[in-house]
Each structure stands twice: as structure tokens, then as C-alpha cells.
Structure 1
């Protein structure tokens, strides 16, 4: 089913509705990268004493609360911008800007981290090829596909996700076969992977905080709201499906892998999954897992770059970022080409970065956004005077409050470097906000919509001599 571009009164190009539920779900799963469960298995098993499935179950429960809140806000405000748009409409424009600024740490720099990890995988397999070649290759291909259009990128993502799922199915199949051959069929129903003498509530809590990072991506589908057919129905369903499907994949894969290798002791936790694959299926299976992880990084980078460019487009359209750059859409391709290029340029930082340094701060923005989206559901409920239903207090106050509590807890589990960088980034955002609002005397500029409950149709944008107060031209 092909969508059509939203019409506007000034004739400016708009995002085009072309995506259905399947494509949006695949996009979210690609961002989430299901194969990451193998990449982080050794780290989680070491930290939890061999109870990786329990860590993922606890993280899944925590993330479901926030996923529910994202679905609620996607129904209330079906526009691009994700947490930035929800918070500025439900709570306050100034707080919304700061949340959007904070989440830029995640959306803008995550593609760089993904490409860096993908380059590291390829360099390990082909040591004679310089790492920069792989990183630049990832950036060039991803940028080209995203510029061609979200439908092209979504179709490629579907193909890459299919291969990723096949690798996971193969790995789980080998795990089951290995357990049956070496321990008997009854061992498949063991409870040992969920907890043992080395597992404590503290280790599980710390493991869940790390495992929660694997779920980052369910929220990214909200950035495609204005490119999705029937978004008020499709986006909330996609958010829950991505969270649940991802959680099931993580728990099942972790369970069967933990059966093959009980406990959390490894010669090298970073390569634990590769060593386990080699034990079960020799060099062939190990090579297939490596290939799967490389493909997964490609799919994840493609999705992350698309999401980041849409967030910047929403902020540029509102003129809280320079509109001529960040609010630009290509008139024919209907894609935010300049924003896509910006994320590609930022990705080049990977040429001089390490994985440890790069991943130290991106989750600060993610958990900040999660917290405020939950609070937005509560604020939206209390702001509805005529339609407020007290019977919805549980679903629209209690549930999001629990979600916010989980997210604050996860935020406190970040290392001190991540929190320090996040606070510095927020301080810069406050300075930008001071400029936009003339020291908080006027509200931040915003693009107004004629009908947010249906297809968003922006009104004529202000002329160059009549921009919103504080707008960045």
C-alpha cells in the first residue's frame, strides 16, 4: 500500500506515508539488533554468575512499562520527534527541548558506535585491511540507502534482519542439539540458567541494567510516525511487538546458550559466544555467527541513522535547531538528506574512537527520554479535563510511574563518566535554550499542526522575516 505526502499550504515537501506494520517492526528490531545477545553473553554471564536469562527477563519487564507509555503518547501525538515531541506537548516546551537535546546523545552518536563495532568485527576477520576502510564503507552504504528513501532502507533492513534471524535460529538449534547429545533431553528443562548459588539479587539487578541496553530501539519506531500508514494504530502496536519479540529472542537465546555453558567463567568474556559456537559447530558455525553480527551491525546502523535524522528533522522543523539545515527535506526523495549526511559525518569520529569510550555516554540520553515519556503520560492524563476517566488511573498514572521509577534506577546504574558527560551535554542544552527563549522570557519556537490526531499537516511556515521568536534560522 503506497502512501502519499502530506499536503501543506506553502508547498514545502513533507515526509511520505509508505510504511506498514511489518516494515516498522523490522525497523525497530534492526535498531535493537537481536544478535547482540551473543555479543554481550560473556559479559552478562560473568556479571550474573550464569543467570543471563533472568537478567533479560527483569529488563524486559522494566522496558514493557516504558514501551506502553511510548504507545500511549504515539496515539495522542502522531508526529515525528519521539520523546522530544511528546514531552514538549504534554509537559512543557522548554523541558521538551532539553529532553530532545539529551536524547541527541543517543540518536546522533549511536550510529557511530554501531559502525565502530562492525568495523572491529571485520578487522578481526580480515586483519590485513585497515579498520577505517570498513567504517567508511558502513557509513557510505548506510547513508546512500537512507537518502534514497525510508522505503528503500526499510526493504534492505528486512533482508538483513531475515539473515540475522536465520543465524539466531541456527545457533539456538545447535545449542539444543548439543545439550541433547551431551546431557540428554531432560537437561533442556533445567532451571539452572535462571539462577544458581552464585546468583544474588544484586548481581541480577546489575545484569538487568546492562541487559536493558539491548532493548534500546523499541522507541526508535516513533520517529517514523509521519512516514507510517495509520500511525495511531500501527506505531503503538509496533512498539509493543518490537519489545516483546526482542525480549523473547533474548531470553530464549540466552537460555539455550547458558545450558551449553553453565556458569559465568570464560577465558575471554568478550569472545564467549564465538568460543561456544566453535565448541558446538566448529569453525563453520563460528564464522556464521561472525557474519551474522556484521550483518546485524549494518542493519542496526541503517535504522539508527534513519531515526537520528528524523529526530533532528523534527527539531529543525520547530526551528530549535537551524531550520535551513535540520528542517530540510529533499523535494523529490522526501528524506532529510542533510541530517542523514550529518550523522554520517559524526560517524567518522569512530576513526579516532574506541568502543569503550564511545558507549560510555549514549545511554544517558536514552534513559532520560524514557523517564520523561512516562511522566508525559501522567501529565497528559491530568491535563484532560473533559475526557479524564478515573478508571484509567491505573493505566495512565500508576503504570507509567512504575516505568519512570525503573528508568531512573537504570540511569543511576550508568558509570560516572557517562553521567558526567551527560550532565555537561545538558548544561550546553540549557545555554542553547536560554538563547532560544531570550533568557526564558518567551517559549521555544514550534511548528504547529492543524490536526495532530490524523495526518499531520503543518501550517505555512513563517517567512524569513517573521520567524518564531528565538528561532534558529
Structure 2
């Protein structure tokens, strides 16, 4: 960017105001995390863990705790907007930073697919005679048309969303407990934590991490937070722990209602459990709330990735003529929206396990490298009194756990993820002419994160 362009850039962008306290940061992180997703993928985790969903979520919480600590440390030392891409680029290497940015793009590109698939799976469970492809295409067509027309969705109203989600989760737990007591079943059991043993529990944890995606997004608010060096790290860790506690408690009682790991409707199990514990009325309320949530989430996710691709095209990280094009009629990046829709059609051929694992491939890759970035920062600044425990041991454990969970993902997801990573490496070699020059800065990734 030239001096003139940089000056013009700053003329059109005001300074971010510091207006968020610790409570607001925690609320943002929880809203972004979307706690109700624990019910959306409960059947998948139960199947993989062989009835040990709580154990899988406990393992995932431990992994996320170590990673959250690393995010907190990097947010303290690099108090600017941006997340994994910024930290790895700054503490490790610009080329590794590009790789992280590429894996983050994977999450953005395929998140709408996962959202549409989960919603379609629950509608398929309710209307078994309707092919799942019908629901997937319906989601894609409606959201794509709305995004092309430029429908502006209101900003996330955190208090309302969190209140509704928490009420449904609390009601789900209360009705589960009531159902168990009426059946004279014990409320104390170790089975939800042990499942089929360590192997199945780690396989479940590798997918359960999908529920945590969003705790790291707090770091994007660094420039708008009061006492950011103190509050942002605290909020990141607290959101990971609070989210983990919610997931463990909810899955514990739901597992007692529906024990085991073999179900005929794994992808939409929670809807049937809702009917079991609360009758048809609660089942309908739960399904409606989940589908509406998935639809609005998919609408926002598609709009976000279309904007991200446009910004990357504008920055010439991607071909400008395609990705940087905006329709003169609708004033929206129509080609990018259409591309997202085409990718979403892949949901017809995937299941929830594979698709969530695919998303987690990008997440675990970024998480692992952020932990390594903390270690690199420590090695470069050893004379500044940094704690070896916090900057070396804990992130080292975090990197090992994240790396191990990465290997436990669905085999199809690993193949797809490694293929995506390979494309990114080849593209990096082209952009840098065989690593002989610096890769372009992914300003769009920083803005999106």
C-alpha cells in the first residue's frame, strides 16, 4: 500500500472506540460460540464417543483451555485487531502466517455448508420422506437470493440471543432431570464421562471442539476493549471455560436420557429427545428455534464469506476480476455469493460428522500454530522475565493436544483438509515466486476476524 493509499484508507476509517468491559467481551464470546449448538451435534458426539459425550466435551474443554491461554498471551503482546493470522505472522513467520490465513479461509468457506447441513438434517428427521437434498437446496437458494438482493441483517443482539439459547438449554436440562426422576432413574453416573474408552472419547472430542469455535473471536475486539491487555486474555479463557461447563452439564443429563452410542437418527437425535422429555409441543419449539437459528446463522455466514472473498480480491490476494467484482445492479458480490452456494451443495454428499471435522481441521491447524507462536515469542524474548510455565510448558501441552486431536478427525475430513492445505502451499509458492519474496498481507483476514 502506497503512502497516498494508506492516507486515503485512514481518511475513510474512523478510530475504534474503547467501550467494552469484561462482561461485554464475555457476552460477545458466548454469543459467537452459540452454546445451543451442543444439542445440534449431540447425536454425532454420542455416536463417536460411544455414549461418553460429557467425557469428550471435558477433553475438548481441557484442550481449549490451553489454547485459550495462548490466545490470551498473544492478545496481550499484540493488542491489535486480528487473531491467529496476526499472531503467527508476527511471532513466527509471514509464510506460516499465510498458511494460517489460508486455513482460516477454509473455515469461512465451509461454515455455511455445515450450518445448512445441520438444519437440513433436523428437518430430514422431522420429515423423513423428503430427501435431505431438498432442504439443503432450499436453504442455499433462499439465503443466496437474500444476500444477492443486499438484505441487511441487523447486528447480533447478544442479550436476546443468549437469553433465548440459555432458556432452551436450561429447559432441556430441567425436563431431562424431570424425565429421569419420573422413571426412577439415578442422576449420578460415570457413564457419560467414560463412554467407550479413551479412543472413542478423543474421537468425540475432536468433533466436539466445533462447539467452541468463537472463543478466539474475542481477540478481534482488542482495540475496542477497556484495559485490553488485562480484560481480553481473561475473557478468552473465561468464555472457553464457561462454554465447556455448559456443554459438559447439558450433555451429561441428555446422555442419561439417551444412553449409548448407536442411534438410527444420529444427525438429528436431540429433536427426538426433546419430544421424549417434553412432548410434541416442546419438540416443536426446540426444532423451530434450532432451524431459525441455523437459517439466520447461515445467512450471516454466507454474507461474511462473500465479503471476505471480495476484500481478498480487492487486495489482490485472490484474482481481482472474479473475487473483487461487485454487481452494478445489486451492489453485492454476486459471484462470491454464488460460489459459496455451490460449495454448500457439498452438504448433499456429506454427513454432519465429516463436515464438522472438516471445519475443525482449519481450527486445529490455527490453534496448534498459535500455541507454537507463544513458544517462539518466549524464545525471542527470554531476557524479559517471561514465565517458562506460561510461555513454554502450557502452550507446548496445548500444541500437542491440538495436534493429537487433529489426527483424530474423520479420515475423509483429513483428506479434504490436507488437500486444501496443499492447494494453499502451492498458491503461496506461486505468489512468492518460490518463497523468494514476502507473501501478500491478508488484510481482509484481519478485518474479518
Q: What is the TM-score when the length of structure 1 is the normalising length?
A: 0.77
Checking the alignment, whether the CA contact within 8 Å between 1:83 and 1:99 is kept in structure 2 is: yes
- Secondary structure at the counterpart of residue 154 of structure 1: coil
User: Which residue of structure 2 aligns with residue 467 of structure 1?
Assistant: none
Change (3 A) 1:48 1:430: closer
* CA–CA distance in structure 1, aligned partners of residues 321 and 73 of structure 2: 32
- Residue 267 of structure 2 corresponds to 270
The correspondence for 2:284, drawn from 273, 283, 287, is 287
Which consecutive unaligned segments of at least 5 residues does structure 2 have? 1-5
> What is the correspondence of 1:21-36 to structure 2 with a 5 Å cutoff?
24-36=25-37
Mapping of residues 226-237 of structure 1, within 5 Å? 231-237=228-234
**Inter-partner Cα distance in structure 1 for 2:222 and 2:313:** 16
In the alignment, structure 1 residue 394 sits paired with structure 2 residue 398: no
Spell out, residue by residue over 1:33-80, the C-alpha distance to the aligned partner (whole angstroms, 9 max, x if none).
322222332333333332221111111001111111111112222333
Q: Classify 1:413/1:144 alpha carbon distance in 2 versus 1 (closer, same or farther; 3 Å).
A: farther
Label 1:162 to 1:310 Cα distance change in 2 as closer, same or farther (>3 A): farther
- Distance in 2 separating the partners of 1:404 and 1:445: 27
Q: What are the ranges of 5 or more consecutive residues in structure 1 without an aligned counterpart? A: 1-7, 330-336, 449-455, 457-473
| Residue equivalent to 1:468 | none
Q: CA deviation at 1:30?
A: 3.9
Q: Greater share of helix residues, 1 or 2?
A: 2
Contact kept, 8 Å, 1:30 with 1:300, in 2: the verdict is: no
CA root-mean-square deviation? 3.7
1:370 aligns with 2:364: no
Which of these residues, 7, 10, 20, is aligned with residue 9 of structure 1? 7
Cα 1:446–1:40, aligned 2, differ >3 Å: closer, same or farther?
Answer: closer
Are residues 265 and 422 of structure 1, via their aligned partners in 2, closer, same or farther at CA, if it must alter by over 3 Å?
A: closer
Question: CA separation of 1:229/1:318 partners in 2, compared to 1, >3 Å: closer, same or farther?
Answer: farther
1:223 is displaced (CA, Å) by 4.0
- Counterpart in the other structure of 1:381: 378
Q: Is the 8 A contact 1:29 1:217 kept in 2?
A: yes
Q: Is 1:136 aligned to residue 135 of structure 2? A: no
Is 1:349 matched with 2:343?
yes
Residue 203 of structure 1 deviates from its aligned partner by: 2.2
User: What is the aligned partner in structure 1 of residue 156 from structure 2?
Assistant: 154
CA contact (8 A) 2:303 2:337 kept: no
Contact 1:82–1:220 (8 Å) recurs in 2: yes
Question: How far apart, CA to CA, are the structure 2 residues paired with 1:287 and 1:293?
Answer: 10
Counting matched residue pairs gives: 426
Q: Which of 249, 255, 263 is the matching residue for 1:252?
A: 249
1:217 aligns with 2:219: no
Deviation at 1:426, TM superposition (A): 2.2
TM-score, scaled to structure 2? 0.81
Structure 2 equivalent of residue 453 of structure 1: none
Report 1:36-115 matches (<5 A).
Answer: 36-115=37-116
Find the aligned partners of 1:265 and 1:370 in 2 and give their Cα distance. Answer: 31
C-alpha contact 1:30 1:303 (8 A) present in aligned 2:
no
**What SS does structure 2 have at the residue aligned with 1:253?**
helix
